Amino acid sequence: MSVAHYIIPFEVGTFWDGSPVYQLPLRAANTTIKGSAGEWDWVELGNGTALVRVRASNTLLNGLKRDFGLTVVTDPTTLISQFRNKTWADLQINVPDDTYLSQLNTLADSLALQADQQGYVRLSRGNWLEETKILNLMAARGYGLDRVSTGTFPTTGLLDDFTRANEGPPPSSSWDYFTLDGWPGGLVVSSNACVAASAGYRSSYWKTSYGPASEAYVTLSTLGASSDIVWLTLRGASLGSGGGGGSSGTLYLAQLTFGASPKLDMYRRDSGSWNAMGTQDTVAISTGDKFGFEGISGTFQAYRYTGGSWATYGASRSDSTYSNAGPIAVGMLNTTCVIDDFSGGTVSGGGGASSLIVSRHPMAPLLVR
């Protein structure tokens, strides 16, 4: 198909209350354009006109020009300074030419293959217009938000706010706990928050199984002392219960070590042995921040919430050893750290990091990763 650009004047219509509304005559051809697998979009130029970009067959383009008296624009970039409600890049994404559309379809095919092989895939946290375009292409292939992540974190809500009388371990009947490297104690509710039951490595897990695409996050109400630790785990298996068992358990863990220069590590636990995933990151953390951990397919990413927004925290890690669903958990070394609002579950229409790259289109920025 070909892409053409036209100048077209607005028509003045009325809302139900009699107030004026400006419309484009070309909307009358919307069904014809879309029905022939074409697309169109517009940007306001001022002076009662708009620049329209149309992708259609040459026959249809000639018919539109004739029927609507359209003025052809050979170089639309000369009008960019007059654009009001969209950018040039927006128009190119909304109405892709054949080269760009072919690249998007290739990406959609790759995503579909990943979804078939791994159960879930993710998009970048890039341009939402392009993500919408790719999601539509995926939907046409039968893949919905249950299998394609839109690149956000978190996607799940609160599980436990710890607002109740002191109890534990575990913090409630929804929790359980296990022996972790010889330390059997779990977590407790104390003063409407959650802390380790005593000094040492203490951990408790939410008894519901989630995933395998899963996430967990907590609020750090009080930071731990230097060298104290807080961690989150995903995809737990064979964890034991009631403070016993767990030596043969498997899981993925993101660990934040407090101090003047906080450190972030990730580990895979294999039946009692710990295997580092990637290299240690030096990070920042403040009282009241949230700490999150996500695993989608074979990609694991930590997150930090500070200053009113979430962002990736340290580098992502890759590991495909375990693909099971399982409980999510939180743990602490020693009793100084205080957490609140344990949240998480199965990732739904979200996910943060990116793993695919589409080649740059000569007319548009690189937006899909």
Q: What confidence tens digit (pLDDT) does each residue in 327-363 have?
A: 999 999 999 999 999 999 998 754 443 333 333 333 3
Q: Report the domain count for the chain.
A: 3
Arithmetic mean of pLDDT over the chain: 88
58 and 131 housed in the same domain: no
pLDDT tens digits for 48-88?
Answer: 899 999 999 999 999 999 999 999 999 999 999 999 989 99
- Show the domain range for 336: 158-346
pLDDT of the residue at 349: 58
pLDDT in tens, 297-312: 888 999 999 999 999 9
Residues 314 and 327 occupy one common structural domain:
yes
Task: Judge if 277 and 180 occupy the same domain.
Answer: yes
The predicted pLDDT at position 22 comes to: 82
Residue 368 falls inside a structural domain:
no
38 plus 135 within the same structural domain: no
**Domain end marker among 106, 126, 149:** 149
pTM of the predicted model as reported, rounded to 2 decimal places? 0.67
- Which residue(s) pair with 195 in the sheet? 188
Q: 106-122: per-residue pLDDT in tens? A: 999 988 888 887 666 77
Which pLDDT belongs to residue 118?
Answer: 66
337 and 198: one domain?
yes
> For residues 38 and 56, is the Cβ–Cβ distance under 8 A?
yes
For residue 54, is it within any domain? Answer: yes
Q: What is the mean pLDDT of residues 27-49?
A: 92
Cα 213 to Cα 345: distance, rounded to the nearest angstrom: 9
Nearest alpha carbon to residue 347 among 153, 113, 138, 134 = 153
**Which 3 state secondary structure label does DSSP give 250?**
strand
CA 343 to chain centre: 16
365 occurs within a structural domain:
no
| Contacting residues for 151 by C-beta, under 8 A, at least 6 apart | 122, 123, 124, 125, 126, 131, 350, 351, 352, 354
Give the pLDDT band of residue 369 (cuts 50, 70, 90): very low
- For 46, 59, 60, 108, 153, the CA distances from 84, given in Å and listed in that order, are 8, 30, 28, 31, 32
Which pLDDT tens digit goes with each residue over 148-185? 776 678 989 999 999 999 999 999 999 999 877 777 78
Rounded distance, CA 251 to CA 272, Å? 10
Domain end among 149, 169, 192: 149
